[in-house]
Every structure is written in structure tokens, then in C-alpha cells.
Chain A
Amino acid sequence: MNQPKPVYSSRLVFGFGVIFLFLVLGQWVSRYFHLPISGSVIGMVLLAVTLGCRILPLSLVEEASQLLLQHLSLFFVPAGVGLLSYRAMLKDNWIPITLAILLGTIITLLSTAGIHLVLLRTKWNRKSNKAGSTQ
């Protein structure tokens, strides 16, 4: 980011083309194999794998990806405003639904981070176990 960049960058345009290509690929895969996972998530994995296999140079997609991800939050605003149209649906069950969202999210956050911390801090005696099992 510190280096001066050219005003016009065809890499940005390339990058967008590639990202949309992977979106289309992801959607194909999702539809063809009848997967419950959305095309965009499959596209994300495909993109990471293609980059990992060095088929695609990182420099080609880096700028476009950075541009999109820097403003990712903005793209969620219309969906958030959409909550407005669901008011009627919540009427009878809004208390448990709110509880599920608030408590559920807090519990999920803490237990996910918690178990990962436990896993990270547990000393796995893998070497000694292996030594013990191979007789």
C-alpha cells in the first residue's frame, strides 16, 4: 500500500473479470452437483485452490479483491434495511427469536473461541502416543 500505484490499472479490471469468472464457476459446480452450498462460497474455495496451485498469479486478483473486501460491510446495508419488511412475520414469536439471536450469537462466539483456545493450549503428546502405538 505504501508504494505509489499507477492511476490506471488494468489488473483491477482483470481481477474483476477473474472474480466474476470464479463466481460463475462456483454457481455451475453448485448447480451441477446439487450442492446445498452457494456458488459464491464454492467460488471462494476454487479461487483459493487455483491460487494455491499457482495456476493463477496472486497479483492478478489481489487489487480487485482488496477493493471489494475493503467495503464488504457496505454491501450488507440493503439486506439490513430489508429487516423492515419482515416486521409482520415476527409478531407472535419476536421474543424467542430475539433471544435466539442475541443469546445464541453470544454463546456461539464464546464457545467457538473457547474451544479453539482449549485446543490450542492443550499439549498433544502426539509423538509419545505414536511411539506407544507402534510396537
Chain B
Amino acid sequence: MHGFQVLGWIGEATSGELLPEEGALYPALHRMERRRWLRATWGVSDKGRRAKYYEITTRGRAALAKATREWARYVNAVGKVVIAEEGA
């Protein structure tokens, strides 16, 4: 997927809640590329434009799995706090 497609996917997945500024995606993509979580290649899009395509690497999957676990733990913890507070 190139950047715009990624954004479209995030937009669909989150009903547009996550990225207030579309461009904010790109520094993140680049950072992940530098960490070799993503591999990027230049190609030509279906509209005939030169575009940069990103693809997740094995390292990237591992990092995602780790981050997802951490995130779940975090959300779980925060959830408990919030519920505890509301119950109080």
C-alpha cells in the first residue's frame, strides 16, 4: 500500500477519529521504515503516478505483536481504573 491507501484504510478502520492531520502519517511511516519494520519500494500506481509502496517485514510483525500486547495491557489497565472510578 502507498501512503494514501494506508490513510484510507486507517480512516475506514477508525471512522476518521485518529489522524487530525493527514500528513502526520508520513513521519511515522518513515520511522518504521528506518527501523526496518517496513520495506518500501517505488512503483507506479493504478492511476499512473509514481508512488512509494510500503510492506510489513518479519521484524515489523514481531514489533507489532509486541506493541499490540503492550497496548492491550495498557488499555486493560486503564479500563480497570476508569471502571473502578465510575463504580466508586
Chains A and B form a bound pair: no
